[in-house]
Amino acid sequence: MSWKLSAITSREAVEQALDRAEGWDETLVLAAFEVDPDKPDVWQLDAYCEDKPGDTERAAVAALFESDAPEIVAEELPDADWVSESQKGAQPIRAGRFYVHTPEHPASEEAGVTSFCIPAAQAFGTGQHATTAGCLEMLDTMRGDGIMPHTVADIGTGTGLLAFAARDLWPRARYTVSDIDPLCTEAVIDNALRNRIPLGTEPGKVAAMTAEGMDHKLLHARAPYDLLIANILAAPLIELAPDFAAALAPRGSVLLAGLLATQESTVRRAYRRHGLRLHKRIQRGDWSILWLRARYVG
């Protein structure tokens, strides 16, 4: 990618723009991030493209914003191997018993720690994002609380990292992972091979597919699930509430992330309508990680 279009605005506006990006033009790669930790409400949305962007590309980015679009600035990027550069800058992270690193860094040698190698180019899902690290912590908490799922699904899996971590905790369960983006399905397969995770439909193996939400015959065939994981965004989490509830086993668990703390009450309300109650939560910065259960356990 040699060019990018950037827009700086409020966190809420960027989150809403990402929610509207379904069916996004694949020639423009979106990324969003907090500009300054001291100003958590100021975010930047970037759209990367191979060629110099014109009016069409600017209009596409502007259309993601509900009202007046912020100023959109074009920038030509210097010629560089961005994958290698990003890997150099991505430091390993530790979350619960898990250690996530890029190929540029070695695995942990600490006893009792499981390492996963995920390329930094697959940005959302490396563990660098607070919600991903929070999910790893919550999975560890579930295991410590005695949760023993036999069937697990990771919806919007991204890199497959959360499913891999769950498999480390519960190696005999059946794992089904899906993402709406076929490139993510390819990434899951690549990362499974990289981390020696067996692929397939048998217990202890990971079955990966491309699907929108729960809309896949294998996802339906393998239900009900003892554990459903979804680290996506608030809007699709709300939309998927009835589907998740219908696919959940009695007393099953749902792990939700990708939502801001300010969105938590709305998400919880959507799931409460379908009989799911909050069991535990983690807050990392502005982000909430929720463990809901089909039957509340006090």
Cα–Cα distance, 185 to 183 (Å, whole number): 5
Query: Rounded to an integer, what distance in angstroms lies between the CA atom of residue 236 and that of residue 266?
Result: 12
Task: Kindly give the interhelix angle for 161-169 and 182-194, rounded to the nearest 10 degrees.
Answer: 40
Angle at 61 between CA 79 and CA 66, to 5 degrees: 155
89 is in an annotated binding site: no
140 annotated to bind ligand? no
Residue 195 marked ligand-binding: no
What tokens appear for 251 in the block? 């007393």
Contact (Cβ atoms closer than 8 angstroms) between residue 173 and residue 167: yes
Is 55 labelled as part of a ligand binding site? no
Q: Cβ distance 251 to 224 under 8 Å?
A: no
Tokens standing for 53? 């962007």
Element (H, E) at 49: strand 39-49
CA angle at 160 for the pair 131 and 138, rounded to the nearest 5°: 40
CB 178 within 8 A of CB 162: no
Which candidate, 184, 175, 283, places its Cα nearest to that of 225?
A: 175
The whole-angstrom separation of Cα 133 and Cα 125 is 9
Binding residues: 132, 156, 179, 231
Binding residues for S-adenosyl-L-methionine: 132, 156, 179, 231
